[in-house]
Structure 1
Amino acid sequence: MIVNSAFELADERDHLYDALTDFTPNGRREHYASWLESQGHAARAGTVRATIAAYNELDCSFLSNPAGTEHWQRVIAIPLLMRLIDEGQQFTERELIDLRNLVFPRIRPCLTLSYEPAKSTPDVGASYLWGHPDLLENQEWPKIAECSDWFSAKDQLPQDQHCAFLGQFRFSDLSETLLGRELPSSGGFSIFAITETDSLGIQETVVRPWSPEQQLVRFEPPEDLITDRLGDSCNSPKRPHTITLTEAISIPDAASPTFGALIPECKWSEKFGDLYSSMMAECNEDTLGIGGYLRGTSGDDPSPDTNHMRFVVLRVTPEAGIVHFAIPNEDIEKGCLNRVQYVWSDWDS
């Protein structure tokens, strides 16, 4: 796994995480700037202070010459602030302040996800997509009987058919990211799915957590996945792919019913619709990823309610299909994955 980090210094993560949503003049963002200055990063400290001034004065001129990497600038909300101020000039100052005060306190860290074919076989227990899964030695490969029933048609599928392996994530691989502050420090999970193409056109999923003390072994795929009579090769084993994660920030999809009541007038035809759409594009623009807020790839945001965050959004194969998963906010840090929900499927994405 490759992680494009938002910060440069070994001890920087916690300072930056604490500063994400605090733009008060003498708050945690100012403390972060002071810490950067003490570490010899005066230029970046000045940029952090510029975000405080731009936020409070609604003036982009403070952000005209920022220091730091593009990833870091995105995470400290420079593009988000500039979009709010530049494209919000048609609104009154009071209207912009009200919108700002609803959005910025809800910023969350997230990781966008991309992938490419692996150059070598992944280590057992590593984070990767497709290939062959790692399971407990005495554990069975998941079958349809264990799957979700999101399409309410699982009973029409052969219950003893094995599910395709989509990927696995080791939490320790994410521990040095901002999102890592909200995740367990150890353990991990695997995701499996079954795709039926001939008559039902459905995808169902299985999330399998593992704890740090459990010993994993690499499994070879069962014969029914190699022949794959259900999915026209969608379920057949694929070449393993290396994951690249990039740090970003996420804001709620206020154009959807789930968060629309908390951040009003942001639907496509409403007062802030165009502005809010542009602001979202400056955050977690990529569909695939971990953490933050869900975003609809077709239709509305599929979050069950405002108490759920995006757990993970993945492709079913390297070429097509997207599955969305949500988890209650209070469960994620505990590593409690028994309430992870499969909430949306884009069959032909």
Structure 2
Amino acid sequence: MAEQLSKIESAVSLEGEFEQLQQVLSDLANQDLKRQYAKWLTEQGDPRGAFLTSVLDDWDSGNETLTTDESIDAVWQDTCGVTLLQKLRGGKLDAVAATILAAARPALKIELTPAEGEVPVGATKFGGKPDLAEGVSWPEYEDKLHTFIGQFRLDDLRLTQAGTLLPDTGLLSFFVFDDPIETGQPAAEGADGAWQVIYCSDPSQLRRVEPPKEFDEGNRLATECILSMQETLDLPNINTYDLDQDYGDQFTACRRAKSMGLAKEHDDSYEALLETLLPEREERSHLMGWSHPQVSCDDPVDDDFRHLLTVASEELVQWCWADGHQLYYSIKPEDLADGKFERSAIIDG
């Protein structure tokens, strides 16, 4: 049976365009950068250039609605900020547009499909058996095997905007010890050694690893799945309901809303914006971007960490974190830059 590989729906389609879009996303609130990108697209004879220019003209003119064109690739519109501008104007969020644009981060939406053929060693996937370098053992916690979540071939992500903060090559693998009987929480509520993120910089060292022992009740081999990934932008989860309350320094439920200048009257429009960019975000796995908790009032990832991967409770692979929550892997920016993924953190919510 033929090999199956995960796929990425990219926002760019022209040679040299990746760098152009990367420049736009380096300062998404800067409309001049978008106009330079639009000019470049027009010079390449790409109709997206005229479309983007029209959207920017409408924005600058204060038009109540911005130009739309369903024939223009939707993934590109989501990733370059066109969708954001349209929703900001439609939701009457102009007064806070700059801070919302500044908060936007590239992300990759993830959909799972059971693999029908062989998934090659070192390929991107969820579930199945992990590929680890020689000398690296299947992670354990208190002599019990972790659940293998999945792995990402970083060469596949190199030309995605979400992948720009990751190493250009190698394999990034995610494990967690699920302890539903003892604590009702994954990773034993943060117990040391109850999760691992493993980075292998040399793919030639990889080999497929068999479970070295039997799994306990909470951990298992998941169905091997290939991934369909799609570029988009993502925004932080917010809570505006308690903005009028003073809970002191210990209560930070509204910290994102406060830092972005959002008020209660912005809540519905901002929620619609989030849903457009990352539909069903509280039940969807995604790479990079922001975390989107089901039960926490606000983003559970600490301010000095960067969101790395959300892993949803997935019926297809029989993952249920606590009461159907999600797992959030995160990492400090300096550790991300240095490739020290072993210092990653985890939380659920």
Cα distance, 1:314 vs structure 2: 1.4
Letter in structure 2 aligned against 1:179: A
Q: Is the 8 A contact 2:110 2:287 kept in 1?
A: yes
Aligned to 1:281: 275
Aligned to 2:302: 304
Q: Is the 8 A contact 1:132 1:220 kept in 2?
A: yes
Cα RMSD (Å): 2.2
Cα distance, 1:24 vs structure 2: 4.6
Please state whether the residue corresponding to 2:262 is helix, strand or coil.
coil
1:126 partnered with 2:123: yes
Letter in structure 2 aligned against 1:9: L
Instruction: Write out per-residue CA displacement over residues 22-68 of structure 1, whole angstroms, 9 at most, x where no aligned residue.
Output: 4555x221111111112111x21012112322333342544133652
1:99 partnered with 2:96: yes
Q: Distance in 1 between matches of 2:61 and 2:335?
A: 38
Cα distance, 1:254 vs structure 2: 3.2
Distance 1:161 1:62, change over 3 A: closer
Q: Distance in 1 between matches of 2:65 and 2:294?
A: 35
Q: Is the 8 A contact 1:44 1:67 kept in 2?
A: no
1:184 partnered with 2:172: no
TM-score of the superposition, structure 1-length normalised?
Answer: 0.82
Letter in structure 2 aligned against 1:162: L
Unaligned runs of 5+ in 1: 89-95, 145-158
Instruction: Write out per-residue CA displacement over residues 225-263 of structure 1, whole angstroms, 9 at most, x where no aligned residue.
Output: 2xx3x32xxx22122100111000012223253422211
Aligned to 1:246: 230
1:83 partnered with 2:81: no
Question: Which of 104, 108, 122 is 1:111 aligned to?
Answer: 108
Unaligned runs of 5+ in 2: 1-5, 188-194, 240-252
Q: Distance in 2 between matches of 1:129 and 1:326?
A: 18
Task: Give the number of equivalent residue pairs.
Answer: 312
Question: Which of 139, 145, 154 is 1:142 aligned to?
Answer: 139
Aligned to 2:20: 15
Q: Is the 8 A contact 1:132 1:219 kept in 2?
A: yes
Aligned to 1:153: none
Cα distance, 1:335 vs structure 2: 2.3
Q: Distance in 2 between matches of 1:278 and 1:254?
A: 12
Q: Distance in 2 between matches of 1:198 and 1:104?
A: 43
Letter in structure 1 aligned against 2:11: A
Please state whether the residue corresponding to 1:121 is helix, strand or coil.
coil
Q: Is the 8 A contact 2:285 2:311 kept in 1?
A: yes
Q: Distance in 2 between matches of 1:335 and 1:55?
A: 40
Q: Which moved more, 1:182-191 or 1:248-257?
A: 248-257
Letter in structure 2 aligned against 1:326: S
Q: Distance in 2 between matches of 1:98 and 1:87?
A: 11
Please state whether the residue corresponding to 1:223 is helix, strand or coil.
coil
1:30 partnered with 2:30: no
Distance 1:60 1:74, change over 3 A: farther
Cα distance, 1:195 vs structure 2: 1.9
Aligned to 2:248: none
Please state whether the residue corresponding to 2:348 is helix, strand or coil.
strand
Instruction: Write out per-residue CA displacement over residues 69-123 of structure 1, whole angstroms, 9 at most, x where no aligned residue.
Output: 11111122233222222232xxxxxxx4431121112221111111110111211
Q: Is the 8 A contact 1:124 1:218 kept in 2?
A: yes
Cα distance, 1:125 vs structure 2: 1.1
